[in-house]
């Protein structure tokens, strides 16, 4: 799971670099919320919530 979180963090950093400064701050705030949810619920559960699917098997490669 730690690798998955690092990959998400890397993607967020790439997006931040491509956005105006005020958008990057909002993106960082949202990332912090997502990270907290991942720590509380687990990555699979958070992904299921994003897609509004409770009976889906999440496969991360």
pLDDT tens digits along 23-37:
878 888 888 898 899
Read off the pLDDT of each residue in 36-48 and give the average, rounded to a whole number.
Answer: 85
7-33 burial, b for 16+ CB within 10 Å, e for fewer?
eeeeebeeebeeeeeeebeebeeebee
More confident residue, 3 or 32: 32
Query: pLDDT exceeding 90 applies to what percent of the chain?
Result: 3
pLDDT band at 40 (very low <50, low <70, confident <90, very high): very high
Regarding pTM above 0.75, the answer is no
pLDDT at site 13: 81
């Amino acid at each position: 799971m730690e690798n998955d979180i690092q990959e998400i963090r890397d993607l967020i950093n790439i997006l931040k670099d491509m956005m105006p400064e005020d958008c990057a701050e909002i993106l960082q705030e949202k990332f912090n919320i997502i990270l907290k949810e991942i720590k509380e619920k687990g990555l699979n559960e958070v992904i299921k919530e994003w897609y509004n699917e409770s009976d889906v098997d999440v496969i991360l490669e």
